[in-house]
Amino acid sequence: MIIAVDGPTASGKGTIAKALAAHFALPHLDTGLLYRAVGRQVALNHGNPDDPTDGLAACDFPDSLLADPDLRSESTGALASRVSVHPGVRQALYERQRAFALQPGGAVLDGRDIGTVIAPEAEVKLFVTASVTARAERRFHEMQALGRRVTLAEILADIEARDARDRSRAEAPLIAAADAVVLDTSDLDRDAAIAAAIRIVQAHERTDR
């Protein structure tokens, strides 16, 4: 079974995808981490994330970079959003994601175009969303817990800019697949959001028998 979990930044899709993978004993891939690695590599190369040539060159990042804690920073997230608009970057990472999705037994993948581009044949598709305010507050608390100095206003502005780029890009824009189940987590805590997602997958399993 392939489970596709899409949605904007800080919607809770990563947490939900990891929980689904654990619950249904499936491997999990955070595809956004790949784009963050490309963005981080561009910075390490002293390149320009808005230059498609620099972005493509950074796709040849070492696997060890995926363990870099800086990949989770707001600045790297912004770089990932910028490099992800380049068709060459998306194509370079496509095969890696596709192979993961099609492995025997299935998998859980989360990102922004899993259900529409990477695995359109996924048996279960979730589009996890939340209000911009709720997402900004969540990310703000995460950054505070990590000891990073950033204001709520800065995070809100960054999320709005990232949403605009993700939804307006010509290549694989952020949209819900036509057959995706939309899960709004604005008013749900972590456990409630996970429970709702598990119920959605279980409902599919029952109807598929």
- Tens digits of pLDDT across the chain (209 residues): 999 999 998 999 999 999 999 999 999 999 989 999 999 999 999 999 999 999 999 999 998 999 998 898 888 988 998 998 899 998 999 988 999 999 999 999 999 899 999 999 999 999 999 999 999 999 999 888 888 888 999 999 999 998 998 888 877 788 999 999 999 999 999 999 999 999 999 998 777 65
Query: Fold for domain 2-201?
Result: Rossmann fold (3.40.50)
> How far, in Å, CA of 167 to CA of 165, rounded?
6
Among 4, 12, 63, 53, CA closest to 33:
63
Residue boundaries of the structural domains of the chain: 2-201
pTM: 0.84
